[in-house]
Chain A
Amino acid sequence: MSDAATALQGMAMAPRVPARVFAGFRRAGRSQAAYALAAPAFMLMLLMLIGPLAGVIALSFTDYQLGAPAFSWIGLSNYREMFADRVFWISLKNTLTYVAIVVPGAVALGLGVALLIQSGAGLKSWYRTVYFLPVMATLIAMAIVWEFMLHPQFGLVNGLLRAAGLQGHSWLQDRGTALYSLCVIGIWQATGFNMVLFLAGLVSIPKHLYDAAEIDGAEGAWSRFRLVTWPMLGPVTLFVVAISAIRSFQVFDTVQVLTKGGPSKSSEVLIYTMYTEGFEFFRSGYGAAVTVVFLAFVLLLTVLKSALGNREVHYA
Chain B
Amino acid sequence: MAEIEIRALRKAFDGAEVLKGVDLTIQDGEFISLVGPSGCGKSTLLRVIAGLEPQSSGEVRIDGVSADGVRPSARNLAMVFQSYALYPHLSVFDNIAVPLRMKRLSALERAPFVGRLMPGRRRAERVIRDDVERVAEQLEISPLLKRKPGQLSGGQRQRVAVGRAIVRQPRAFLFDEPLSNLDAKLRVHMRAEIAQLHRQLKTTFIYVTHDQAEAMTMSGRIAVMIGGELIQVGAPAAVYDDPCDIRVAEFVGTPKINAFPGRIRSDGRLEMLGHVLHMATPALEGECRICVRPERIELASHGLLSGTVVHLENLGSEAFVHIGCAGTDAPVVARVNDPSQLPAIGATIGYGFAPEAVRAFDADGKRIVTSLPSRVERPREMAVV
Whether A227 pairs with B52 at a CB distance below 8 angstroms is no
Q: A316 CA to B86 CA in the complex, in Å? A: 10
Instruction: Of the listed stretches A137-145, A207-215, A240-248, name the one at the interface; the rest are far from the partner chain.
Output: A207-215
Whether B52 pairs with A228 at a CB distance below 8 angstroms is no
Which residues of chain A have C-beta atoms less than 8 A from B78's C-beta? 215
Whether A214 pairs with B52 at a CB distance below 8 angstroms is yes
B132 sits at the interface (CB 8 A): no
Whether B87 pairs with A215 at a CB distance below 8 angstroms is no
Q: Do A216 and B83 contact each other (CB < 8 Å), given the known contacts A211-B52, A232-B89, A234-B89?
A: no
Interface size for A (C-beta < 8 A) is 24
Name the distance in Å between B272's Cβ and chain A's nearest Cβ.
Answer: 48
B256 sits at the interface (CB 8 A): no
Which residues of chain B have C-beta atoms less than 8 A from A228's C-beta? 87
Name the distance in Å between A236's Cβ and chain B's nearest Cβ.
Answer: 13
A206 sits at the interface (CB 8 A): yes
A223 sits at the interface (CB 8 A): yes
Please, which residue of chain A has its CB at the minimum distance from the CB of B47?
A211
Which residues of chain A have C-beta atoms less than 8 A from B88's C-beta? 231-232, 314-316
Whether B73 pairs with A217 at a CB distance below 8 angstroms is yes
Whether A215 pairs with B83 at a CB distance below 8 angstroms is no
Whether B52 pairs with A217 at a CB distance below 8 angstroms is no
Please, which residue of chain A has its CB at the minimum distance from the CB of B88?
A316
Please, which residue of chain B has its CB at the minimum distance from the CB of A234?
B89
Whether B102 pairs with A223 at a CB distance below 8 angstroms is yes
Q: A48 CA to B83 CA in the complex, in Å? A: 46
List residues 22-65 of chain B with CB under 8 A from any CB of chain A. 47, 50-52
Whether A216 pairs with B52 at a CB distance below 8 angstroms is no
Name the distance in Å between B33's Cβ and chain A's nearest Cβ.
Answer: 20
Which residues of chain A have C-beta atoms less than 8 A from B148's C-beta? 314
Interface size for B (C-beta < 8 A) is 28
Whether B87 pairs with A211 at a CB distance below 8 angstroms is no
Which residues of chain A have C-beta atoms less than 8 A from B164's C-beta? 216
Interchain CB contact (< 8 A) of B102 among A211, A218, A231, A232: A218
Q: A227 CA to B102 CA in the complex, in Å? A: 10
Q: A24 CA to B89 CA in the complex, in Å? A: 46
Binary per-residue interface labels of chain B (157-173) against chain A in the complex, 1 for a CB within 8 Å, 0 otherwise? 00000001000000000
Q: A215 CA to B90 CA in the complex, in Å? A: 17
B349 sits at the interface (CB 8 A): no
Which residues of chain A have C-beta atoms less than 8 A from B50's C-beta? 211, 215
List residues 122-158 of chain B with CB under 8 A from any CB of chain A. 148, 150
A219 sits at the interface (CB 8 A): yes
List residues 88-113 of chain B with CB under 8 A from any CB of chain A. 88-90, 98-99, 102-103, 107, 110
List residues 189-241 of chain A with CB under 8 A from any CB of chain B. 206, 208-209, 211-220, 222-223, 226-228, 231-232, 234
Whether B107 pairs with A215 at a CB distance below 8 angstroms is no
Q: 12 pairs across A/B with beta carbons < 8 Å?
A: A206-B83, A208-B82, A208-B83, A211-B47, A211-B85, A215-B77, A215-B78, A217-B103, A218-B98, A226-B110, A234-B89, A315-B88
Q: What would 9 more interface pairs be, CB under 8 Å, given A208-B82, A214-B72, A232-B88?
A: A209-B85, A215-B79, A215-B99, A217-B73, A218-B102, A231-B89, A232-B89, A234-B89, A314-B148
